[in-house]
Structure 1
Amino acid sequence: MFVGRKFELDQLNKLYMREGFQLVILYGRRKVGKTALIKEFIKDKYCLYYALDESTEATAMDNFNKLISSFFNIEELSPLTISWENCLKAIADNSGNKRLVVVLEELSFIAQNNSLFLSQLKKAIEFFFKGTQIFLIISGSANGFMEKTFLNPKSSLYGLQTAQFKIEPFSFYESSQFFPNLSIEDKIIYYSTLGGIPQYLMQFDYSKDYESNVMEFILNKSSYLYNEPENYLKAQVDDINFASKILLILSKGDYNLERFHNKNVSVGEDLILMIKKLKKLNIISRRRSVGKSIVRPWTFYRLEDNFFRFWYRFIYKNRGLIDMNMIVYLFQNKIKRDLNSHIGYVFEEISTEYLKRLNAEYKLPFVFETIGSWVGYNPVLRKPSQLDIVATSYDSVLVGECKWSQSLTTVDVLENLVLKSETLKYKNKYYCLFSKCGYEDKVFDYVKNKDNFYLFTLKDIDS
Structure 2
Amino acid sequence: MIRDFIDREEEREVLKKEWNSDGARLIIIYGRRRVGKTRLVNEFIKGKEGIMFFAEDVTVQIQINGLKAEIAGYLNDELLQGLTIKSWTELFTYILKNPPEKRSYLIIDEFTYLIKSDKSILSAIQKAWDRGLSDSNWCIILSGSLLNLMSEYALSYTSPLYGRRTRDMLLKPLEFKDAKLFLSQNEKDSLKTYFTTGGVPEYLQKASEYGTFEEFVRNEFFSNFGYFYREPYFLLSQEFRELKTYQGILSAIAEGRTKPSEIAVNCGIDTRKIYPYLEGLIRLGFIEKETPFLSSQKSGIYIIKDSVIDFWYSFVSTNRSEIERGCYTNTDFNKYFGKKFESFVRNEIAPAIFPKARTGRWWHKGEEIDLIAVDDNAKMIVFAEVKYGTKSASDALKILKKLEKKSEYVNNSTKNNEDYIQKYALFAGEITDKDKIMDRDKTKGDNYLVYDLDDMLKYLM
**How does the TM-score come out when normalised to structure 2?**
0.88
Q: CA deviation digits over 1:170-189, x for unaligned, max 9?
A: 1222211212x543322211
Residue type of the alignment partner of 1:208: G
Report the Cα offset of residue 57 of structure 1: 0.4
Instruction: Report 1:129-168 matches (<5 A).
Output: 129-168=133-172
2:369 to 384, 387, 390: 387
SS in 2 for 1:64: helix
Instruction: Report 1:99-178 matches (<5 A).
Output: 99-178=103-182
Instruction: Report 1:339-358 matches (<5 A).
Output: 339-352=333-346, 353-358=348-353
* Corresponding residue number in structure 2 for 1:419: 405
**Aligned partners of 1:445 and 1:223: how far apart in 2?**
50
SS in 1 for 2:165: coil
2:364 to 360, 370, 376: 376
Which range is displaced more, 346-355 or 70-79?
70-79
Q: Are the aligned partners of 2:249 and 2:267 in contact in 1 as well (CA < 8 Å)?
A: no
Residue type of the alignment partner of 1:359: F
* Corresponding residue number in structure 1 for 2:441: 447
SS in 2 for 1:147: helix
Going from structure 1 to structure 2, the CA distance change for 1:64 and 1:266 (only over 3 Å counts) comes to: closer
* Corresponding residue number in structure 2 for 1:381: none
2:396 to 410, 414, 417: 410
Instruction: Report 1:196-275 matches (<5 A).
Output: 196-253=199-256, 255-260=258-263, 266=269, 268-275=271-278
Going from structure 1 to structure 2, the CA distance change for 1:340 and 1:130 (only over 3 Å counts) comes to: same
Q: Are the aligned partners of 2:185 and 2:211 in contact in 1 as well (CA < 8 Å)?
A: no
Going from structure 1 to structure 2, the CA distance change for 1:392 and 1:263 (only over 3 Å counts) comes to: farther
Residue type of the alignment partner of 1:136: I
2:426 to 424, 433, 437: 433
Report the Cα offset of residue 241 of structure 1: 2.5
Aligned residues: 440
Q: CA deviation digits over 1:312-364, x for unaligned, max 9?
A: 111111111122121xxx23xx2x22x1111112111221212212333xxxx
Q: CA deviation digits over 1:184-233, x for unaligned, max 9?
A: 32221110111111121111245522222222222222222111012211
**Aligned partners of 1:423 and 1:65: how far apart in 2?**
66
SS in 2 for 1:59: helix
SS in 2 for 1:278: helix
Which range is displaced more, 97-106 or 82-91?
82-91
**Aligned partners of 1:192 and 1:288: how far apart in 2?**
22
* Corresponding residue number in structure 2 for 1:289: 292
Q: CA deviation digits over 1:8-57, x for unaligned, max 9?
A: 01111122111221111111111111111111111221121112111000
* Corresponding residue number in structure 2 for 1:380: none
Report the Cα offset of residue 277 of structure 1: 1.5
Q: Are the aligned partners of 2:31 and 2:147 in contact in 1 as well (CA < 8 Å)?
A: yes
SS in 2 for 1:400: strand
Whether 2:382 is the aligned partner of 1:398: answer yes
Q: Are the aligned partners of 1:414 and 1:443 in contact in 2 as well (CA < 8 Å)?
A: no
Going from structure 1 to structure 2, the CA distance change for 1:208 and 1:52 (only over 3 Å counts) comes to: same
Q: Are the aligned partners of 2:210 and 2:216 in contact in 1 as well (CA < 8 Å)?
A: no
Residue type of the alignment partner of 1:432: A
Q: Identity over the aligned pairs, expressed in percent?
A: 25
Report the Cα offset of residue 448 of structure 1: 3.9
Whether 2:22 is the aligned partner of 1:19: answer yes
**Aligned partners of 2:90 and 2:266: how far apart in 1?**
56
Residue type of the alignment partner of 1:305: D
Q: CA deviation digits over 1:130-182, x for unaligned, max 9?
A: 22121111111122332333433333321111111111111222211212x54
**Aligned partners of 1:154 and 1:61: how far apart in 2?**
24
Going from structure 1 to structure 2, the CA distance change for 1:279 and 1:40 (only over 3 Å counts) comes to: same
**Aligned partners of 1:98 and 1:270: how far apart in 2?**
53
Let me know the Cα RMSD of the aligned residues: 2.4
**Aligned partners of 2:295 and 2:374: how far apart in 1?**
9
Residue type of the alignment partner of 1:165: M
SS in 2 for 1:462: helix
**Aligned partners of 1:407 and 1:320: how far apart in 2?**
37
**Aligned partners of 1:199 and 1:80: how far apart in 2?**
39
**Aligned partners of 1:140 and 1:117: how far apart in 2?**
14
* Corresponding residue number in structure 1 for 2:319: 318
Q: Are the aligned partners of 1:149 and 1:158 in contact in 2 as well (CA < 8 Å)?
A: no
Going from structure 1 to structure 2, the CA distance change for 1:158 and 1:259 (only over 3 Å counts) comes to: same
**Aligned partners of 2:341 and 2:259: how far apart in 1?**
21
**Aligned partners of 2:264 and 2:93: how far apart in 1?**
56
Report the Cα offset of residue 414 of structure 1: 1.3
Going from structure 1 to structure 2, the CA distance change for 1:243 and 1:264 (only over 3 Å counts) comes to: closer
Residue type of the alignment partner of 1:43: K
**Aligned partners of 2:152 and 2:242: how far apart in 1?**
23
Whether 2:460 is the aligned partner of 1:459: answer no
Going from structure 1 to structure 2, the CA distance change for 1:207 and 1:32 (only over 3 Å counts) comes to: closer
**Aligned partners of 2:200 and 2:255: how far apart in 1?**
21
Which range is displaced more, 57-66 or 114-123?
114-123
SS in 2 for 1:290: coil
Q: Are the aligned partners of 1:257 and 1:267 in contact in 2 as well (CA < 8 Å)?
A: no
Q: Are the aligned partners of 2:100 and 2:138 in contact in 1 as well (CA < 8 Å)?
A: no
Q: Are the aligned partners of 2:349 and 2:456 in contact in 1 as well (CA < 8 Å)?
A: yes
Q: Are the aligned partners of 1:298 and 1:375 in contact in 2 as well (CA < 8 Å)?
A: no
Q: CA deviation digits over 1:76-133, x for unaligned, max 9?
A: 3556444323323444444433110111123322324434322111012222422212
Q: Are the aligned partners of 1:255 and 1:302 in contact in 2 as well (CA < 8 Å)?
A: yes
Report the Cα offset of residue 375 of structure 1: 2.5
* Corresponding residue number in structure 2 for 1:359: 354
